[in-house]
């Protein structure tokens, strides 16, 4: 079961739950409606949900010249309790005036933690999963500050990027990781870095996370290990069971969590939440998949699991458990799987099967 302990935000009792929906690009338009259907299916286990449809993405940029409309940001800040983001089509070549709206949202809403559980579905209910780990990714810094420049030097074009690592950001993502590790049976945390080469930036990240249990005795129960990022990828594929909670700077966490998805079958089954201290936004790990958009075969599992993870973060544990159990049941039965998992089922068929079990 995907029952991942997440630090619940302290919230007052709500009479309703306002959820922003940002399908964005490609298959986001197909999987976010599936997540909405799953949320609606949990009924009285959450306050009556209200959904606000919001716009962002590369398609928005091509139409209007704006990838992240100010109206979307204001609605998230002033009207929504939480949100779901679908997927974004970020071009691989530079497009003047365009930058990723999901990266911008993480910064403007201060969603400093990207929490990505990677859990295999065991053959029998109640049986321990062979793979059960969480990648905790710092969400606001590293190379993703997008401070790049290109100049013409003595030997032609030179491209440079600024990598930002701060003690503040490293400490707070470290605390999030320690909280997660403390709530899990193994209580094990691995710090991912490359400080043998990047001794200043990765060194600061490593030292900041390492210092947390020294400054707060409640974390002393957590076993702390370290792994260089390159060997971490190797061991992730060879010995995934050694990992429990992994904490990493932005770029490493992005790569590790995508790679880990291969261990459980597909990017289409791996969820995440972008979390801050006052807001949470669910986001499936997969991209916009333009090659399959419109065919009705996108896997809705990651978005549905992201909805459950979002609800869990808000403190609605029973609703999250129902969603997780329903997804696990459908995957375990193996009768309705989308093509990425070797099946031939449609998005709608999988969604209906999960909702029926919820």
**Identified catalytic residue from 254, 321, 324, 340:** 254
Alpha helices, DSSP H, located in the chain: 28-41, 58-64, 70-78, 101-108, 167-182, 201-210, 212-215, 229-238, 250-261, 301-313, 317-333, 347-357
Which residue is catalytic, options 45, 98, 110, 258?
Answer: 258
Is 194 labeled as catalytic in the residue annotation? yes
b/e code 48-78 from CB counts within 10 Å (16+ = b): ebebeebbbbbbbbeeeebbbeeebbebbee
| Candidate list 77, 230, 234, 356, residue with the active-site label | 230
Give me the catalytic one of 29, 175, 194, 346.
194
Q: How far apart are CA 40 and CA 23, in angstroms?
A: 17
Of these residues, 144, 243, 252, 316, which one is catalytic?
144
Q: Give the whole-angstrom CA distance, residue 134 versus residue 184.
A: 10
Active-site annotation holds for 321: no
Cα separation of 127 and 119, whole Å?
12
* Sequence-distant (≥ 6) Cβ neighbours of residue 179 within 8 angstroms: 7
Other C-beta atoms lying within 10 Å of the C-beta of residue 205: 30
- Give 142's DSSP letter: B
Exposed, middle or buried, 81 (CB in 10 Å: 0-12/13-18/19+)?
Answer: buried
- Told to judge if 216 belongs to the known catalytic residues of this protein, a careful annotator would answer no
What are the catalytic residues? 144, 194, 230, 254, 258
């Amino acid at each position: 079961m995907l029952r991942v302990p997440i630090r619940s935000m302290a919230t007052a009792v709500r009479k309703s739950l306002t959820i922003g929906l940002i399908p964005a690009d490609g298959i986001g338009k197909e999987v976010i409606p599936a997540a909405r259907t799953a949320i609606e299916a949990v009924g009285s286990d959450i306050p009556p949900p209200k959904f606000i449809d919001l716009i962002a993405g590369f398609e928005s940029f091509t139409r209007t010249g704006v990838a992240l409309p100010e109206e979307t940001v204001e609605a998230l800040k002033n009207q929504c309790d939480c949100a779901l983001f679908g997927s974004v089509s970020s071009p691989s070549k530079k497009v003047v005036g365009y930058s990723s709206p999901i990266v911008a949202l993480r910064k403007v809403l201060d969603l400093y933690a990207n929490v990505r559980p990677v859990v295999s579905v065991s053959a029998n209910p109640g049986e321990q999963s062979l793979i059960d780990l969480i990648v905790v990714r710092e969400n606001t810094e590293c190379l993703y500050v997008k401070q790049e420049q290109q100049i013409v030097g003595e030997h032609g074009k030179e491209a440079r990027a600024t990598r930002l690592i701060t003690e503040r950001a490293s400490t707070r993502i470290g605390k999030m990781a320690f909280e997660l590790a403390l709530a899990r049976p193994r209580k094990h945390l691995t710090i991912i870095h490359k400080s043998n080469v990047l001794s200043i930036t990765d060194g600061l990240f490593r030292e900041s996370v390492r210092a947390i249990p020294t400054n707060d005795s409640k974390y002393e129960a957590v076993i702390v290990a370290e792994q260089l990022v390159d060997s971490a990828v190797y061991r992730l594929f060879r010995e995934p069971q050694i990992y429990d909670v992994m904490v990493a700077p932005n770029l490493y966490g992005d790569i590790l969590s995508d790679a880990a998805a291969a261990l459980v079958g597909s990017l289409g089954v791996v969820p995440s939440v972008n979390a801050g201290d006052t807001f949470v936004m669910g986001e499936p790990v997969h991209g916009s998949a333009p090659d399959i958009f419109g065919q009705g075969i996108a896997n809705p599992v990651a978005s549905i699991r992201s909805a459950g993870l979002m609800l869990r973060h808000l403190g609605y544990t029973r609703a999250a458990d129902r969603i997780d159990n329903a997804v696990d049941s459908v995957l375990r039965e193996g009768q309705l799987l989308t093509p990425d998992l070797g099946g031939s089922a449609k998005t709608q068929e999988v969604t209906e099967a999960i909702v029926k079990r919820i």
